[in-house]
Amino acid sequence: MTDVHTPADLPTKLQHYIDGEFVDSIEGGTFDVLDPVSNQTYVQAASGTEADVDRAVAAAKRAFDEGPWPRMLPRERSRVLHRIADIVESRDARLAELEAFDSGLPITQALGQARRAAENFRFFADLIVAQVDNAFKVPGRQMNYVNRKPIGVAGLITPWNVPFMQESWKLAPAIATGNTVVMKPASYTPLSAVLWPEIFREAGLPDGVFNLIFGSGGVAGDHLVRHPDVPIISFTGDSSTGATISTAAAPQFKSLSLELGGKSPAVVFADADLEAALDATVFGVFSLNGERCTAGSRVLVERSIYDDFVAKFAQRAKNIVVGLPGDPSTEVGALVHPNHFEKVMSYIEIGKGEGRLLAGGGRPEGFPTGNYVAPTVFADVAPEARIFQEEIFGPVVAITPFDTEEEALALANDTKYGLAAYVWTSDLRRAHNFAQAIESGMVWLNSNNVRDLRTPFGGVKASGLGREGGYRSVDFYTTQQSVQITLGTAHTPAFGKQLPPVEQDLDDPDPR
């Protein structure tokens, strides 16, 4: 294996960005950031404390209360977002280079994520101009309409897988709708986040609208969630952390969007296009190094084609090119961090006692160091197995046979998760009915994970709370105020109004 390629002009340190300035932590704390190929420290990042979060939130609140951004016309904000998209698009190669180095993603896939980030900004730039709100008329009596207003400071807590794109997914709708933000990236992958300040400055985003805090989830993230001046929290990450955030935010009735873990099924029926299903299911679990929440990590295959499918799937897994993240030929790179590498490897050891190992099962040949895991395939996995039930978040797949459509549905729904699902069949009626019955927030029929940005994104059960994407993002980052106007005479009961006295017959002992 050749030496890891280190991008030119790496920063010497990573600082917070608050109110238009790069700043160190108030207490001076830092943490080490490792590159996933060598596991050596390549930079130190500022480690945010409660005081740093307070400072960032104060800047964001001041920008919201006093600054121009929330009061600008949607068209004016749209122009800024389009400039952001243009800048991101023009720097996609540099973004991909840094992302691949920092996260271990193959550079060709990182490049696609950079371009998707640009598209996220362009999409919401167009959407806020085209946004319409309801009006309700009662002719001659009443006119009712809806005002949509930004809420305030949004706390955005982003994950370490495809970090730059995930950040854009939250940043674009939050600022498009007029909010200000404090963003805390994952501590494993902070590098690409430091590119946002320069991009936003060049695009003309006012100071204080975007603020960046580095640090641990237990300190910086927790304080951001609990801060009384942060009414909106959007979090992407694991389900246990999501549960903690939900509990912490509940007493203040914050708006929450939680996109959490997944153990998504890919169901392949015997009448499916086998080659297309193989393409999609192999890509669906091994792309992005398997570190994707929507990975189809449980492949359920009808028994009549099971043996043929499993053999071809395993052969494809063995043929996957594992390599340096910066090599354009690489299909699977290095996992993000040694801690995560150890977690994935521990599940592989568990899997050796729960299924039939057909490919992988450890380090790939030629990579004795770094966070490399060979694409791993287990067949004949029972539904009670841990590798069937628990999210591994790496290049590991469990394949299980089924005999009937009813059994396939039971297996598909037999986890605590419910984020995505994939169904392969040529029977149109079955496809739609099966999709309806699957307990997941999203279903792809005869497709891999190709998503229209207008559609809602989110899960059910332990996979999350709320929806973002398209108008659902606009709903989440705004408050809707209804205004009622009386056009005619208001007909209101006159409670308490004094009436003329009623004459009574004094000779009547019971005047009623």
CB atoms within 10 A of CB 79: 16
Rg of the Cα atoms in the chain: 27
Are 123 and 474 in contact by the 8 Å Cβ rule? The answer is no
Would you list the DSSP string of 36-56? TTT--EEEEEE---HHHHHHH
- Let me know if 202 is a catalytic residue: no
Are 48 and 219 in contact by the 8 Å Cβ rule? The answer is yes
Q: Which of 259, 291, 354, 391 is catalytic?
A: 259
- Let me know if 293 is a catalytic residue: yes
In sequence order, which residues have a C-beta less than 8 Å from that of residue 163 and are 6 or more positions away? Answer: 99, 102, 103, 185, 186, 189, 190, 192, 193
Q: What does the H/E/C string look like for 104-149? A: CCCHHHHHHHHHHHHHHHHHHHHHHHHCCCCEEEECCCEEEEEEEE
The Cα 183–Cα 65 span in angstroms is 19
The Cα 396–Cα 297 span in angstroms is 7
Would you list the DSSP string of 179-239? -EEEEE--TT--GGGGGHHHHHHHHTPPTTSEEE--S-IIIIIHHHHH-TT--EEEEES-H
The Cα 253–Cα 230 span in angstroms is 11
Q: Which of 293, 331, 391, 468 is catalytic?
A: 293
Token digits of residue 431: 């496809």
Strand order in the sheet with 135-138: 135-138, 142-150, 478-486
CB atoms within 10 A of CB 249: 21
Are 427 and 271 in contact by the 8 Å Cβ rule? The answer is yes
In sequence order, which residues have a C-beta less than 8 Å from that of residue 160 and are 6 or more positions away? Answer: 103, 185, 186, 187, 188, 189, 336, 337
Pairing mode, strands 356-359 and 376-379: antiparallel
Strand order in the sheet with 265-268: 356-359, 376-379, 396-402, 298-302, 265-268, 420-424, 442-445
Residues identified as active-site:
259, 293
